[in-house]
A and B are shown apart, each in its own frame.
Chain A
Amino acid sequence: MHEEEILGKAYDASLMRRLLFYIRPYRWHVVLGIVLSVAVSGLEAVRPYFTKIAVDVNIAEKDGNGLLVTALAFLGVLLLRGVIQYFNAYLTQWIGQKTIFDLRMQVFEHLQSRSLRFYDKNPIGRLITRVTNDTEVLNEMFSSGIVMVFSDIFTIIGILSLMFTMNWQLALISLSVLPLLFYGTFLFRKKAREAYREVRIQIARINTFMQEHITGMMVDQVFNREKKSFEKFTEINAAHRNANIKSIFYYALFYPGVDLIGAIAVGLIIWYAGVDALEGTITVGTVIAFLQFNEMFWRPIRDLSEKYNIMQTAMASSERIFKLLDDKTAIVDPVHPVPFEQVKGAIEFKNVWFAYNVGLTDAETEWILRDVSFRINAGETAAFVGHTGAGKTTITNLLCRFYDVQKGEILIDGVNIKQIRQQELRKHIAVVLQDVFLFSGDISSNINLGDGTIPREAVEQAARTVGADEFIRQLPGGYDAEVKERGATLSVGQKQLISFARALAYNPQILILDEATSSIDTETEQLIQQAIEKLLRGRTSIVIAHRLSTIQNAGKIIVMHKGEIREIGTHQELLAHGGIYFKLYQLQYKDQEVRLTA
């Protein structure tokens, strides 16, 4: 069973307490909802009473005007009831929606403050389910659930008291079938729930099978498995059908069963009326009223058992949500942060050790960085080169304090970054990732990321500087052109340029640039090279470099290999050294040189 499929208790006191906390701001609305629901039930309950008056008083006394008054009063009550019922139905929805809106925002904000380590551990799909689906499930409990449970109870009490005041013997007689109804309903619920669960399991199996075999259809076809897969599917499909048929059986038994129990009650009422008639306490109107009470009684009782399911799913969802809200994986800001306003941008790594997965012992830990130390002066460009997995990206992650180092320290202008508020720190750093992430929206909002302090002119200025202006203007709508999810309609090079403009618009003191490896057409390539030059000018830059031009122009080349710094120097120095850089150069950059000189 999946985490998502587990259903537990229908009521858990500590979960309920936490849930009620969210409804507190709307507690008066809830009270109003209960009052209105009771009013609706009350008005509903007096309906048979009107029939009784019409038959026993007006008709018996042959009073036509009286009958009209009764009919009109009845109509008035119906109208009033309709209006109240409408408002109440809306109100309960309103309460539910407001509450889950609050809860959803809390979950979302909580997610925003988690550190990247949290995101490494938790699949995004599951987090989205928490934000959207799980909160949605609670809606039903917050809206109809709480209000309806109370109102159903009040309704039952209301009808009962009316019945008993009218004729207590008849009331007892018509209630005598209740144990039968309760037991029948209980059995049905149990069986129906089992059947429903079986249906759910089979649906999940069908979905899994379908998903898998649609994705792997090619394999099925090439391996001539169509027939066998089909047979297997037929089995699952039949299991699904049979589970449904089983559930139909219970329903087919239950509904006529309930009707029959109702009929027994009617029979009993008529029989008793005959027995009691000679004593003279019963009237025809009372009998008719009781026949109607009998019908009205069933609904709230059936409703109550339905609420059980709502509560059960709500508890399961809320447990998952609270588990998420209780997560503590966040990087905490210092209590007394060092002000970080005037930044020059000198960076220093001092004996930094880092691992994404920390083992119990030192030996079990997969160190990504081992004793890394280097210094980049303010305004200098440092190029990091090395194989995939050498630890280059990790260095940039640590500088932004997306993760905390296990040993050693990272200093900016001599201040340990742990002493700076994360927001302050990141405000001075701009990161351009190799895999450019664009949000759906428009071009402009992708450059300023919705920051109102960066006006349109600044956006355009940034785009012009990196050379993105030209292609943006050619898009339909220019800077207001729509960007699809993940920037699907833009080319890789265009996305790169937009991300450069984004970094420039934020005008950071420190720039981190993870150059793209993918080859783009020569024209865009040239544009990008020029853009990079402009970007780097006047700031401290860390470049994970793939372009020879960037490397050659860098003040410092830092060669990483398997988590360690192996060589530091300029292009010429390192070439002369004949070490790793020399080999890397031959492997990765030499043909760039050929292309450049060609």
Chain B
Amino acid sequence: MKPLLRLLPYLAKYKRTLFVGFLTVVGSNIFTVLPPLFIGEAIDLLKEGLEAKSIGGTDLVTYAVGIVVFFLIAGTFTFFTRQTLIVVSRHIEYDLRNDFLSHIQKLSLSFYQNTPTGDLMAHATNDISAVRNCLGPGIMYPTDTILAFTMVIAMMLRIDWELTLLAMIPLPFVSFAVYRLGKVVHKKFEERQKQYGEMTTRAQENLSGIRVVKAYVREEYETGLFRTMSFEYLKKNLVLARVQSIMWPLMFLLVGLSLVITIYFGGLKVIANELSVGGLTKFLIYLTMLIWPMIAFGWVINILQQGAASMDRLAKIFDTKPEVQDAEQTDHTITEIKGAIEFRNVSFTHKGAVRASLSDINLMVPKGATLAVIGYTGAGKSTFVNLIPRLYDATSGDVLIDGRNVKEIPLEVLRRNIGYVPQETFLFSDSLAENISYGTDNGTEEHVRDAAEISQIARDISDFPLGYATMLGERGITLSGGQKQRTSIARAVMRKPKILILDDALSAVDTYTEEEILKRLRRIMKDRTSIIISHRISTVKNADMIVVMDDGKIVERGTHDELVERGGVYAELHQKQLLEQELENL
């Protein structure tokens, strides 16, 4: 239960509402406990009347009205209990989820590379719901239960203490049974879920590998295998059903036992004139009023345990410290950057990796220059550029901008001045205009159009019936790879960045369009720094400086002509791409 203590600050925020909530619980309990008294009195009155053959009709009407009025008052209180206690739990869920997002927003790229999205999603949805669940019902029911319990028992004791003790015997077993069965059910349920997961995985594998299955005529075998898993799932379900099926009959039996005891011993007392029939009726009604609190008691313990387990998982995320963030060395007087970049003896090794992704990189890119980086997959090109906006921090060595270590520049300032086009284009399910102006605060429509024009997506957009308002993603259209890349470039250009980084961002764009884009970029990036990563010679050949990377090192550097002249890796690549072009034109 200890993890739940972390929720105290959240609860404190709503302490007034919670206080009111508790008062209404008290109120509703008082008014629920009283009507059975009226019923009992009414029954006694009726009995006497029947025996005496004369009925005080108005008295019975008074009781009847009293019952209804009391229930109305109790109901009003219950209404407010739900409106306060349960509503607060939703507010806390809201706060918790906001805090969760704002925390993970600070975590660095390496965290996301090591944490599956599915896990984070599960935390954000299931775990937060479980915590919510233990907050609402977990607060409301125990309070309600304890109060109701004490009051009802008090009433019962007032009627007849011996009968109370006798009737109470089976009741602790109810709580205990709910608690224990709840645990077993939870365990069996988890087992069932696991089997469901395995069955789903098998279906997934089978359908993904359907070509192999068909090619080797393994359909029947696969069906058999799936049948086994599906049957196993059926069995797990039935085990669960067996445990679950015990729950209610057992509950009714235990409660029924209380009733039987009350009827017998209570009846004997009535016969012995120690108790009135009305008293017995009251007693029976009170007894049924105890059933729910007893069930709730066992149930709440389970909910609290599950909530605590979820809170524990959430706490682990909340306790993860961001790797990259402003620190002591940050110089907050820096509000602008110019764009000169320098790498000084920079090496980088991914967390948990043995081999370095970058080793001993030394490089200077003056402000306004264009650097092109070329090399095979896995050569370290993306890692290299990721160090500039501090998606990672270098393991050793320094990355400098305008001669200042990037760690000294406030993160916000640094990133605001960078236009980054990642290798894997990522656009949001929003309108095209929203996507393009994504990184700017006050972009006008005109700015958006300019950016789209530069990245050569403008014409495509004007072909869409809704133009810039066209929605992307699940509920909108799907762009082609090239269109996505061009939109992504527009988004970066829109920021008018001091440093523009294109990480293989033209790979899905045809060479003609590419040339058009590069031409426009050269114009607007005249006084700004550009870094272009590519596999294609055509993309890089006009850069001020080209570096060839291999295995985390810079192996060649120079201009296009120099490198072709030298006859190294670059020249070979150049040769091949010429041939390729020739073939394409056949």
Contacts and interface: CB of A to CB of B under 8 A. Distances in A.
B249 A83 contact: yes
Interface string A78-89: 110111011101
A586 B583 CA distance: 11
Contact of B234 (A62, A90, A97): A97
Contacts of A128: 200, 203-204, 207
B98 A78 contact: no
B252 A82 contact: yes
B391 A222 contact: yes
B363 interface: no
Q: Which of A113, A213, A214, A229 has the most CB of B within 10 A?
A: A214
Given A85-B248, A105-B223, A450-B225, A237 B98 contact: yes
Contacts of A26: none
Given A207-B121, A402-B214, A586 B230 contact: no
Contacts of B586: 561, 580
Interface in A557-594: 561, 580, 583-584, 586-587
B109 A218 contact: yes
A364 B14 CA distance: 66
A11 interface: no
B2 to A, nearest CB: 27
A230 B98 contact: yes
Interface in B439-467: 439
A93 B391 contact: no
A229 B208 contact: no
Contacts of A94: 238, 241
B4 interface: no
B217 A426 contact: yes
B46 A273 contact: yes
Nearest to B60: A274
B205 A587 contact: no
Contact of A252 (B83, B91, B107, B583): B83
A218 B422 contact: yes
Contacts of A451: 216, 218, 221
A248 B86 contact: yes
B315 to A, nearest CB: 19
B64 A214 contact: no
Contacts, number: 358
B253 A79 contact: yes
A248 B87 contact: yes
A506 B280 CA distance: 82
A456 B75 CA distance: 73
A182 interface: no
B207 A119 contact: yes
A78 B223 contact: no
Contacts of A216: 426, 428
A87 B93 CA distance: 40
B241 to A, nearest CB: 3
A342 to B, nearest CB: 18
Contacts of A288: 43, 281, 284
A97 B105 contact: no
A426 B216 contact: yes
B91 A241 contact: yes
B555 interface: no
B161 interface: no
Nearest to B196: A132
Given A112-B222, A223-B439, A224-B412, A64 B209 contact: no
Nearest to B473: A212
Contact of A226 (B70, B105, B428): B105
Nearest to B285: A291
A416 interface: no
B19 interface: no
Given A78-B253, A433-B211, A449-B221, A214 B112 contact: yes
Interface in B61-106: 61, 63-65, 67-68, 70-72, 74-76, 78-83, 86-87, 90-91, 93-94, 97-98, 101-102, 104-106
Contact of B205 (A81, A252, A439, A449): A439
Given A218-B391, A587-B576, A430 B215 contact: yes
Contacts of A240: 94
Interface string A264-295: 10111011011101100011100110010001
Contacts of B93: 241
B75 to A, nearest CB: 3
Contacts of B43: 284, 287-288
A169 interface: no
Contact of B583 (A82, A263, A583): A583
Given A241-B90, A277-B55, A284-B50, A112 B213 contact: yes
Interface centre among A213, A256, A402 (most CB of B within 10 A): A256
B117 A277 contact: no
A89 B241 contact: yes
Contacts of A74: 256, 259-260, 263
Contacts of B65: 267
B277 A233 contact: no
A245 B84 CA distance: 10
B31 to A, nearest CB: 11
A86 B101 contact: no
A433 B212 CA distance: 8
B445 to A, nearest CB: 18
Interface stretch (B265-273, B365-373, B395-403, B545-553): B265-273
A194 interface: no
Contacts of A168: none
A260 interface: yes
Contact of A260 (B75, B107, B277, B429): B75
Contact of A131 (B97, B203, B250): B203
Given A75-B260, A230-B98, A288-B43, A225 B64 contact: no
A249 B112 contact: no
B203 A264 contact: no
B124 interface: yes
B267 A59 contact: yes
A491 interface: no
A233 B227 CA distance: 43
A304 interface: no
Interface in A207-246: 207-208, 210-226, 229-230, 233-234, 237-238, 240-241, 244-245
A440 interface: yes
Contact of B83 (A218, A248, A506): A248
A212 B252 contact: no
Contacts of B426: 215-216, 218-219
Contact of B491 (A85, A104, A223, A259): A223
A224 B72 contact: no
B211 A64 contact: no
Contacts of A241: 90-91, 93-94
A271 B64 CA distance: 6
A98 interface: yes
B68 A215 contact: no
A71 B262 CA distance: 9
B300 to A, nearest CB: 18
Given A67-B264, A450-B225, 18 more contacts: A59-B277, A74-B256, A93-B241, A94-B238, A112-B219, A206-B97, A210-B121, A210-B125, A214-B120, A217-B107, A219-B438, A223-B491, A251-B82, A252-B86, A263-B72, A274-B55, A278-B54, A429-B215
Pairs of residues from A and B, 5 with the lowest C-beta to C-beta distance, nearest first: A256-B75, A274-B60, A223-B439, A93-B241, A89-B245
6 contacts: A90-B245, A128-B200, A212-B473, A226-B102, A263-B71, A583-B579
Interface of B: 35, 39, 42-43, 46-47, 49-50, 53-57, 59-61, 63-65, 67-68, 70-72, 74-76, 78-83, 86-87, 90-91, 93-94, 97-98, 101-102, 104-107, 109, 112, 117, 120-121, 124-125, 196, 199-201, 203-219, 221-223, 225-227, 230-231, 234, 237-238, 241-242, 244-246, 248-250, 252-253, 256-257, 259-260, 263-264, 267-268, 270-271, 277, 280-281, 284-285, 288, 389, 391, 412, 415-416, 418, 420, 422, 426, 428-429, 438-439, 473-474, 491, 495, 576, 579-580, 582-583, 586
